[in-house]
Chains A and B, each alone.
Chain A
Amino acid sequence: MSKKISILIVDDEDSVRDSLFNWFMEDGYQVECAEDAKTALSKLESDNYDIILADIKMPGMDGLEMLRRIKLLKDDSIVIVMTAFATVDTAVQALKDGAFDYITKPFDPDDLSHLIRNATRQISLTKENETLKEKVVTLQNVEDIIGKSEAMQNVLSEVESVAQSNSSVIITGESGTGKELIAKAIHSNSPRKYFPLISVHCGALTESLLESELFGHEKGAFTGAMYNRKGRFEMADNGTIFLDEIATVSKKMQVELLRVLETKTFMRVGGNKEIRSDFRVICATNRNLKLMVEEGTFREDLFYRLNVVNIHVPPLRERHGDIPLLVEYFIKKYCTSMNKPAIPIHRSVLKRLEEFDFPGNIRELENMIERAIVIGNGKKITLKDLPLEKNIKITSVESLDELEKKHISNILLKYDWNISRTAKALQVDRVTLYNKIKKYNLKSTNK
């Protein structure tokens, strides 16, 4: 370990403190001493110590009380308690209160070395675990949310600022824009990241199923409830609950939800015990909740409870610039999962994709790319691999007759109303051209 392990020795006897101090110094540790619990606690408030070696029997506050206070200050502290008056009860109590281990004075030098080695290993594992968790979270954020456009950058900056808080968030946006990914990003950047993110797709469940899903149920609460079951709110304790398609929740469930959000307590279906859970709520919807409130289909009080922060995810058609990045990401994703080398895509195809409207947003683009990789020749993604023909970006809303009228008029002008030459250019006979001129009431400006 690169950093020196620091040890705080707490004992009222000078000789014990000095002996341990010398012993640990010879072992190369960073050591400090405190003669009583009060001094130790004030040292702990200002400094961090990796290991605290504390005597149980001390004048004033005893070692066990100090242990409890240390655990309140810093829950992951490693405290080893020592005493000259060993009883099973004190040992058990110390371990119950969170002591790392227990040792009886005087001890074999080897026992102490062994104990410190174990504690050091624990510290190193905890640090390694934290580092790995941070790496996992970083990877998830970097890889999953794609977008360099200003609109997406704004969304990401909103995610960053809201993540650290505990406020409720509503994520709005059309279907397929990646609202769940935004919820994941908020959760994984929040202090709750080491606890679960529980997702509930409210739209996929009937009212009674949703109730049981959210609050859990007791055995025998309804036909088929053969076991006690934890609800999603209970599972999300210390973490985040993500309620997707919140607008589909019935009025009765809206009342239930409001009560849970306000009190953070609830009862399982068929149960009579109140359960408390500390969760953060993030909702998503593709509907206009404010409009629903005005129409009376969504409770106003619930809306204000949920809508502390609103993040709007823009549809793909408003951020065409992100399409090449997304295409590249999905090609890499699906080629890797299908064990294929990354398939290139022609620039013209990419251009066509950028012109496409994508009513199904990113989900539609993703499916399109997956399909192209599956059915394509595996060498290059071409236009025929993509179902784009039906939905080329429409720039005009003119009818066919209007377009025909305009086109004939332009060609007539080009050939100075020479009927033969115009008919030849339009590849129709002279009679047809006369009929069209009559139909559209076209007149030469020269006559």
Chain B
Amino acid sequence: MNLHDITLISFGYFENNFLRNVVENIHHEYKLNIHLREGHLDLSDFYHPARRQYDANKLLQQLEDHFCSDDCKTIGLFNVDLFIPIFTYIFGQAYLGGRSGIASIFRLSNERYGIAPDDNLLLERFSKEIIHELGHTFNLIHCHVPDCVMISGTYVEDIDQKTSHLCPSCKTKLQHKLQ
């Protein structure tokens, strides 16, 4: 494995085809080797009954402790509703300049908002979220360029408004990290 490879680990059910397309989108943006594999976790350990959500801090720590290696960036893919204690929900999170991050598809589907399903849009949203969290692992902070994938987004509408690409400034910073 190369020093700057990316590993995506799916926890829970995802369609193979969907994940292959995600890998393609990530590769298109980062031009790095992407490894895709399945992971198994008993998610009940991370469930918060009062909030009926899953503790993203604990999940990220679990990923960091048991699924990561120093020679690549690892993103855990989930299909459950994530939270951190202070926020009502999150789409994903990562260690800034670290080895790992997590992203969830749970709040990205149209159905959650009473709109007709759109698989392409879901793929696009999930890919953007993974590219965003990967950016943080490469030490990129939130960007102010409106269409940069690194702009902070707290609603799905925010995710739809940005592209799945890094702006020139973020791209330059990434290149420095990769050199």
Contacts and interface: CB of A to CB of B under 8 A. Distances in A.
Instruction: Decide whether A and B are members of one complex.
Output: yes
Interface of A: 13, 15-16, 18-20, 22-23, 25-28, 82, 105-110, 112-113
A22 B155 contact: no
B152 A15 contact: no
A322 B94 CA distance: 69
Nearest to B58: A15
B96 A16 contact: no
Contacts of B85: 13, 15-16, 19, 105-106
A19 B87 contact: yes
A443 to B, nearest CB: 103
Contact of B141 (A18, A26, A112, A113): A26
A281 B93 CA distance: 60
17 contacts: A13-B85, A15-B57, A16-B85, A23-B84, A23-B87, A26-B136, A26-B141, A26-B142, A27-B141, A82-B86, A106-B51, A106-B86, A108-B88, A109-B87, A109-B90, A109-B154, A112-B86
B11 interface: no
Given A19-B57, A28-B142, A113 B86 contact: no
B160 to A, nearest CB: 15
Interface in B90-111: 90, 93-96
A107 B141 contact: no
B47 interface: no
B30 interface: no
Contacts of B78: none
Q: Which of B57, B87, B93 has the most CB of A within 10 A?
A: B87
Contacts of A27: 141-142, 152
B69 to A, nearest CB: 21
Contacts of B83: 106
Given A25-B96, A27-B142, A28-B142, A18 B57 contact: yes
A411 B125 CA distance: 113
A101 to B, nearest CB: 15
Given A18-B57, A19-B57, A28-B142, A113 B88 contact: no
A106 B52 CA distance: 14
Q: Nearest 8 CB-CB pairs, A to B? A: A28-B141, A110-B154, A109-B154, A19-B84, A15-B85, A27-B142, A25-B96, A106-B88
Interface string B151-168: 010110000000000000
A108 B94 CA distance: 18
Given A13-B85, A15-B84, A19-B57, 11 more contacts: A15-B57, A23-B86, A23-B87, A26-B94, A26-B141, A26-B142, A27-B142, A106-B86, A108-B88, A112-B87, A113-B154
Given A110-B155, A113-B154, A105 B141 contact: no
Contacts of A113: 152, 154
A19 B86 contact: yes
A15 B83 CA distance: 11
A19 B93 CA distance: 10
Given A15-B84, A105-B85, A106-B83, A22 B152 contact: no
Nearest to B61: A18
Contacts of A108: 87-88, 154
Contact of A25 (B84, B90, B141, B155): B141
A82 B86 CA distance: 10
A108 B155 CA distance: 10
Nearest to B83: A106
B88 A107 contact: yes
Given A22-B96, A26-B136, A26-B141, A16 B152 contact: no
A106 B48 CA distance: 14
A28 B85 CA distance: 21
B86 A22 contact: no
Nearest to A19: B84
Nearest to A25: B96
B157 to A, nearest CB: 11
Contacts of A16: 85-86
Given A27-B142, A109-B154, A110-B154, A22 B95 contact: yes
B154 A22 contact: no
